[in-house]
Amino acid sequence: MPEIWSLKQSKVKFVEMKSQFTLRISAEEMQRYYKGHAKTVVVQADRGETLQFSADHLRAFVRHDGVAGWFEIEYDAAGKFVSLNCLKLL
């Protein structure tokens, strides 16, 4: 995850980060996550950075054919996961 910095009143501070990405995972591939064979999802964001997050965060978006959508992930100032939202189903 790239670090995004902001200069404010002569103090350097980590800024909260939101990134968008497209994700397509078939129903068969999602079975690997459910069976515990895979626990982490790694994707390339629209801006080119590599993102990594727990597959558990996808559970709300799984359909009969898997997961397919344009998503936005948010991290807090410490780089910890805050939220994952589906902006558009594909």
Task: Determine the structural domain holding residue 43 and report its residue range.
Answer: 16-89
What's the CA gap between 31 and 4, in Å, rounded? 35
What's the CA gap between 46 and 77, in Å, rounded? 21
Per-residue pLDDT reduced to its tens digit, 62-77: 999 999 999 999 998 8
CATH at residue 43: 2.40.50
Q: For residue 8, is it within any domain?
A: no
Give the chain's largest Cα–Cα span.
52
Report the predicted TM-score, pTM, of the whole model to 2 decimal places: 0.79
C-alpha dihedral sign at 68, 89, 4, 11:
negative
Residue 1: its pLDDT value, please? Answer: 41
Q: How many residues does the chain have?
A: 90
Q: Are 20 and 86 in contact (CB under 8 A)?
A: no
How many domains does the chain fold into?
A: 1
